[in-house]
């Protein structure tokens, strides 16, 4: 009985650690995606833009992996926050790919800034709020 109780406690704390690591991974990846996007917007060097796009894509993949892992977690209790995070991320990513990056590639940096500091900033705030609601502010 004692072994079963100890095993259960270990499993519980392991699940808490995995969820914390996942939300922290999401928070870090989101910050990296946003930072590299802003750096891409101010870059006029095509080679540097290409390198930054690679970094944006890597961070995006990591964020999507973290969100997917949280959505698959059988012990999750925060479906609304996760759903909003996933939906908002999709909108953010679609706008980035369809509007911001083409504007930068076309040399229209003003348009890229306008979008990034407008609707994308609102979406970033929404995603940050959802991550905080998922205890993402406890990441070190």
- By the 8 A CB rule, do 104 and 116 touch? no
Which sequence spans correspond to the domains of the chain?
12-138
Which tens digit of pLDDT belongs to each residue from 19-57? 446 888 999 999 999 999 999 999 999 999 999 999 999
Fold for domain 12-138? Answer: 1.20.120
pTM of the model: 0.81
Residue 91 has pLDDT above 70, yes or no: yes
3-state secondary structure of 15: helix
């Amino acid at each position: 009985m004692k072994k079963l109780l100890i095993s259960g406690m270990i499993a519980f704390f392991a699940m808490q650690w995995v969820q914390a690591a996942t939300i922290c991974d999401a928070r870090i990846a989101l910050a990296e995606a946003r930072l590299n996007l802003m750096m891409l917007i101010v870059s006029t060097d095509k080679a540097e833009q290409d390198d930054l796009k690679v970094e944006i894509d890597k961070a995006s993949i990591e964020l999507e992996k973290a969100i997917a892992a949280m959505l698959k977690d059988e012990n999750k209790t925060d479906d609304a926050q996760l759903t909003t995070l996933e939906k908002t991320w999709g909108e953010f990513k679609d706008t980035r790919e369809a509007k911001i990056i083409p504007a930068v590639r076309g040399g229209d940096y003003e348009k890229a800034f306008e979008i990034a500091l407008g609707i994308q900033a609102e979406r970033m705030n929404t995603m940050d709020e959802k991550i905080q609601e998922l205890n993402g502010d406890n990441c070190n």
